[in-house]
């Protein structure tokens, strides 16, 4: 029976799913499809059968299926869920919504992307920020200081600081890109802060210091310092995410 193909790979699918089960399951299904272990035209078993075999809820399985469908790895119909021809996937991936592409990106790719994106954002913000923009960025910075002992609130205002920076570029494409990537970026920051605080309590102090330098550079319209300091900040965050 066809379902035996999937059942033969259940142990692989179930292993090391971590906390973000749907995303990790997406990656595992993708690997099975790209390697041909789940071949073109194969009909996946009923969702109840799959979710039971994997020991997960149907809603979690559906989240993984939704991402697989968006990227073109599977097609869903009333007749069932089928594996697509992978030769056609590249074209489908290219038109997938950017937010979903970010959500399913490799961690290293995401960190490198953020390094490039936010440095340029800071530079343009320094060139174009209005007094109203600077006031909003300043308020976020003050809240970061105020809530430095509350990791969740601190990260909320850290994220807000960066979003206000993107607003200050007055570049619709940059702003849209930051909005699309926001949730993935925030998740990285929260993980980094929670993990690193247990090892290095100075992480938040360093983060506040660097944000303060970025803010002052923007006030002076010093786009070169804003650029270099943001690169320093994102490098620090990236190292924290990777190594704690």
What's the pLDDT score for residue 242?
Answer: 66
- Note the Cα 182 to chain centre separation in Å: 7
Helices 58-70 + 21-34 axis angle, to 10: 50
What's the pLDDT score for residue 144?
Answer: 95
What's the pLDDT score for residue 106?
Answer: 67
Residues with Cβ within 8 Å of 29's Cβ and at least 6 positions away in sequence, in order, are 13, 38, 64, 68, 73, 74
Neighbours of 145 (CB within 10 A): 13
What's the pLDDT score for residue 209?
Answer: 97
Q: What is the DSSP track for 148-159?
A: TT-HHHHHHHHH
Give span(s): CATH 1.20.120.530, the chain.
Answer: 98-243
What length does the chain have? 244
Q: What is the DSSP track for 197-223?
A: HHH-THHHHHHHHHHHHHHHHHHTT-H
Q: Which CATH architecture has domain 3-94?
A: Orthogonal Bundle (1.10)
What's the pLDDT score for residue 229?
Answer: 97
Return averaged pLDDT per consecutive 10 residues of the chain, 244 residues in all. Answer: 71 83 85 89 90 88 82 84 76 55 70 87 96 96 94 88 94 84 72 70 90 98 96 85 64
Give span(s): CATH 1.10.10.10, the chain.
Answer: 3-94
| CB-based contact 163:178 (threshold 8 Å) | yes
Name the fold adopted by 98-243.
1.20.120
């Amino acid at each position: 029976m066809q379902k035996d193909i999937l059942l033969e790979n259940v142990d692989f699918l179930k292993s090391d799913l971590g906390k973000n089960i749907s995303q990790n399951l997406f990656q595992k299904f993708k690997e099975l499809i790209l390697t041909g272990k789940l071949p073109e035209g194969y009909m996946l078993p009923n969702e109840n059968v799959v979710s039971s075999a994997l020991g997960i809820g149907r809603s979690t399985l559906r989240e993984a299926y939704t991402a697989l469908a968006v990227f073109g790895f599977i097609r869903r119909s009333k007749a069932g869920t089928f594996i697509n021809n992978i030769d056609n996937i590249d074209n489908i991936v290219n038109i997938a919504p950017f937010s979903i592409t970010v959500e399913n990106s490799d961690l290293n790719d995401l960190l490198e992307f953020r390094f490039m994106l936010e440095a340029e954002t800071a530079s343009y913000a320094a060139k174009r920020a209005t007094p109203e923009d600077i006031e909003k960025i300043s308020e976020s910075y003050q809240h970061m200081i105020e809530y430095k002992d509350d990791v969740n609130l601190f990260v909320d205002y850290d994220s807000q600081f960066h979003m206000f920076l993107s607003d200050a570029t007055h570049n619709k494409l940059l702003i849209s890109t930051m909005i699309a990537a926001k949730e993935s970026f925030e998740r990285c920051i929260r993980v980094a802060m929670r993990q690193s605080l247990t090892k290095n309590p100075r992480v938040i102090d360093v983060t506040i210091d660097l944000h303060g330098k970025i803010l002052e550079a923007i006030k002076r319209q010093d786009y070169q310092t804003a650029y270099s300091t943001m690169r320093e900040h994102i490098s620090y965050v990236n190292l924290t995410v990777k190594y704690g």
